[in-house]
């Protein structure tokens, strides 16, 4: 673990050489594949040190973090081409990858909390520094205050755990029947629900996505939303007694909220806003699966987190490709793209079909597992799940058909086709999303 962390840290000096953009990107690829081929063939904690270690859950999310960070650099080539502070941008991306690596690699609850909060700082710099509109300041403040306000009770809860159990190591926090009231339960859970985000505390996410650059949207949708799910999986051994009593509140709120958010998606005219709201709907199902506290529900939630990270990040890349050509993300302007960019229409179709959980994507596996676990938890959830699945397909088809078909906006006279960099970027999102299904046994037996 420490060797990969040192490699990432020693990439930081290279960021400030203006002509080493692609070298840093290539070295990040090398870190990813080195980590990938050091696969832990054991179903417990390994590579342990004083502060870091990993099991299969953290291993998969570390790989996802490194992969998305590489693709962020690949997607933000305009920063390098127009000399928009490329050195500082690379520094922010590398620093963010270090924070995420330390977050998922932490074996202590306190160090997890510190790195969990630290990962918000480079994300805020991405939004404030490379965002497109003046409203990015308001979006950054929303992001910061929503997450920090909910995280303060979590810190108090962590200190309370240490004063009672004298340990904060994940593999020692089995609870042993220890419980300390519903207030402690809310303190430990609420920060992760805001981070995911759950319906009613989700308002920071669409704002942050709309104002963020493509790299900020990719890391927000790809990794930072998964920090909440990962945290819930880690703290629930402590909260099993109260989780089984109060989980119906979060499951009901998440699934009903997911249906409402899906209806919001049906009337969006901004591409990024539509994709951001669809993330809230998908994360509602993930929260429901984790809150069932069943083995199958947690495994399926983990699978859907990985799948959503790749799929949503790819859709944000597609919307940015259109935005760079047309100067607008409005569906009214981005209509009839099949006439102007026929080569991109296939990628819109492939990633949209993954977003609506079509085979053979990883989304299908995650959603089938979540449907079965939630229905086995309670038959009454079937009514919400039916609408959630239907509207998920409906707003994805609305996005695809409205953007690809129809008449071209009259203000547009020409449009370039895609670059090789853009096609490779989309392929690197789509290919893992559909090939990981072949190793589904690792995903299912990871928890």
For 125-156, write each residue's pLDDT tens digit.
999 999 888 888 999 988 988 888 889 999 99
- Residue 125: enclosing H or E segment and its boundaries? helix 120-130
Residue 43 has pLDDT above 80, yes or no: no
Query: What range does the domain containing 406 cover?
Result: 1-445
Q: Is omega for the bond preceding 360 within 30 degrees of 0, making it cis?
A: yes
At a CB cut-off of 8 Å and minimum separation 6, what does 73 contact? 21, 24, 25, 28, 90, 93, 215
- Segment 241-267 shows an average pLDDT of 90
- Segment 199-204 shows an average pLDDT of 89
Q: Is the dihedral of CA 78, 84, 85, 88 positive or negative?
A: negative
* pLDDT more than 90, % of the chain: 57
Q: Are 430 and 351 in contact (CB under 8 A)?
A: yes
Q: How many domains does the chain fold into?
A: 1
In 3D, which of 417, 410, 398 has the Cα closest to residue 324? Answer: 417
Gap between the Cα atoms of 415 and 199, Å rounded: 39
Phi first, then psi: what are they for 161, rounded to 5°?
-60, -45
Q: List the Cα angle 223/373/390 in 5-degree steps.
A: 75
Gap between the Cα atoms of 22 and 440, Å rounded: 33
**Quick one: pLDDT at residue 442?**
66
Instruction: Say if pTM beats, i.e. exceeds, 0.85.
Output: yes
**Each residue of 377-421: pLDDT tens digit?**
989 999 999 999 999 999 999 999 999 988 877 666 666 778 899
- Segment 292-320 shows an average pLDDT of 93
**Quick one: pLDDT at residue 325?**
84
271 SS3 class: helix
What is the separation, in whole angstroms, between the first and last Cα of the chain?
A: 20
- Segment 232-256 shows an average pLDDT of 87
- Segment 230-258 shows an average pLDDT of 88
**Quick one: pLDDT at residue 181?**
78
In 3D, which of 90, 84, 68 has the Cα closest to residue 22? Answer: 90
**Each residue of 344-371: pLDDT tens digit?**
999 999 999 999 988 889 999 999 999 9
């Amino acid at each position: 673990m420490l060797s990969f962390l040192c490699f990432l840290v020693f990439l930081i000096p290279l960021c400030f050489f203006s002509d080493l953009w692609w070298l840093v990107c290539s070295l990040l690829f090398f870190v990813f594949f080195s980590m990938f081929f050091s696969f832990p063939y054991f179903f417990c904690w390994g590579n342990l040190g004083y502060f870091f270690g990993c099991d299969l859950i953290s291993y998969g999310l570390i790989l996802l973090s490194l992969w998305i960070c590489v693709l962020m650099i690949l997607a933000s080539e305009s920063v390098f081409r127009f000399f928009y502070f490329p050195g500082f941008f690379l520094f922010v991306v590398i620093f963010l990858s270090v924070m995420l690596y330390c977050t998922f690699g932490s074996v202590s609850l306190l160090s997890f909390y510190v790195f969990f909060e630290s990962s918000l700082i480079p994300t805020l710099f991405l939004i404030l520094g490379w965002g497109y509109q003046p409203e990015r300041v308001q979006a950054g403040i929303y992001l910061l205050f929503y997450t920090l306000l909910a995280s303060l009770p979590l810190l108090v809860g962590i200190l309370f755990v240490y004063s009672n159990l004298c340990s904060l190591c994940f593999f020692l926090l089995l609870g042993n029947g220890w419980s300390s009231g519903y207030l402690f339960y809310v303190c430990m859970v609420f920060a992760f629900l805001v981070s995911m985000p759950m319906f009613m505390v989700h308002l920071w996410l669409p704002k942050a996505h709309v104002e963020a650059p493509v790299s900020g949207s990719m890391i927000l949708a790809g990794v930072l939303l998964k920090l909440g799910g990962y945290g819930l999986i880690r703290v629930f051994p402590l909260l099993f007694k109260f989780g089984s009593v109060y989980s119906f509140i979060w499951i009901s709120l998440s699934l009903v909220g997911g249906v409402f958010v899906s209806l919001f998606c049906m009337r969006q005219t901004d591409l990024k806003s539509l994709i951001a709201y669809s993330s809230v709907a998908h994360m509602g199902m993930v929260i429901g699966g984790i809150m069932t506290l069943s083995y199958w529900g947690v495994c399926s939630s983990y699978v859907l987190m990985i799948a959503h990270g790749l799929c949503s990040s790819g859709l944000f890349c597609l919307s940015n490709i259109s935005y760079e050509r047309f100067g607008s993300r409005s569906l009214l302007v981005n209509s009839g793209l099949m006439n102007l960019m026929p080569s991109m229409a296939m990628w819109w179709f492939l990633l949209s079909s993954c977003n609506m959980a079509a085979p053979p994507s990883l989304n299908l596996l995650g959603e089938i597992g979540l449907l079965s676990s939630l229905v086995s938890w309670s038959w009454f959830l079937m009514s919400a799940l039916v609408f959630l699945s239907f509207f998920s397909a409906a707003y994805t088809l609305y996005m695809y058909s409205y953007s690809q078909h129809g008449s071209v906006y009259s203000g547009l006279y020409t449009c370039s086709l895609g670059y090789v960099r853009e096609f490779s970027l989309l392929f690197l999102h789509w290919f893992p999303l559909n090939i990981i299904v072949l190793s589904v046994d690792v995903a299912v037996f990871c928890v």
